[in-house]
Amino acid sequence: MKKIDCIIADDEALAREVIESHVSKIDRLNIVATCNNGAAVFNGLKTHKPDLLFLDIQMPHLTGIELLRTLKNPPAVIITTAYRDYAIEGYELNVIDYLLKPISFERFLKAIDKYEMWVEPGKKETVVSITEEPKSSDEAFIYIKSNKKMIRLMLADILYIEGLKDYVKIHAANNDYITYQTLTYFDEKLPADNFLRVHRSYIVSTRHIKAYTAAHIEIGKANIPIGNTYTREVQAKLSK
């Protein structure tokens, strides 16, 4: 199996060590260089031609964002930063994922999984999220890739998510969005306190439920069916 050649770019030694430790646990990943400033990254990319770049934003000489803007054919990029403010700008530059420090190994694995989906034909659309804990559930959000744009979507605005053949349709308060991802991905990603899988084709936001019966859930103008295999779990959750 071909190795995934990586460059780690961060001006903080401890941050580089954390990523190096995470990389060492994954057999497919191979570090070809580590860099502590933007100019070194630029030169390293020319020399090593890596598959994947772990890129900090705030670095001497050249920031991560400035570097990406100079590159005509960059490798796949995963941003690693302490600052969430650059997320939209990063995704406009087609980064694979945006990791907020401190980066857990579990979250690192999810980013690598996104990279591997990205390199597979037909799976370049993905959902991305910021992993920092929100101050409240009303402030939580995800980024989704829809209609060739990265869209920030507040979780509180999601009514329900419908799984279709090759994509999902997110029904939100003011709009609907189509993104190429599985319903299972959302089921694992969204907080269980606010979202509930009720059918093999539906996840609903519990905060937007108007009414429910043993067979259906009413949200807005939609009647969402409750699948037979989900009935007991749904009833237990909603009767609390």
Does residue 70 form part of some domain? yes
Q: Same structural domain for residues 62 and 113? A: yes
- For residue 110, the model assigns a pLDDT of 87
- For residue 190, the model assigns a pLDDT of 87
DSSP assignment of the chain, as one string?
---EEEEEE-S-HHHHHHHHHHHHT-TTEEEEEEESSHHHHHHHHHHH--SEEEE-SS-SSS-HHHHHHH-SS--EEEEEES-GGGHHHHHHTT-SEEEESS--HHHHHHHHHHHHHHHSTT----EE---SPPSSGGG-EEEEEETTEEEEEEGGGEEEEEE-SSSEEEEESS-EEEES--HHHHHHHS-TTTEEEEETTEEEEGGG--EE-SSEEEETTEEEEPPGGGHHHHHHHHT-
For residue 176, the enclosing domain spans 156-238
Does residue 105 form part of some domain? yes
Q: Same structural domain for residues 81 and 165? A: no
Residue 104 sits in a domain of what CATH number? 3.40.50.2300
pLDDT tens digit string along 16-74? Answer: 999 999 999 998 899 999 999 999 999 999 999 999 999 999 999 899 999 999 998 88
Domain edge (last residue) among 76, 106, 124: 124
Q: Same structural domain for residues 19 and 118? A: yes
Q: Same structural domain for residues 21 and 115? A: yes
Number of domain units in the chain: 2
pLDDT tens digit string along 138-190? Answer: 567 887 877 767 788 889 999 999 998 778 899 999 899 988 778 888 888 88
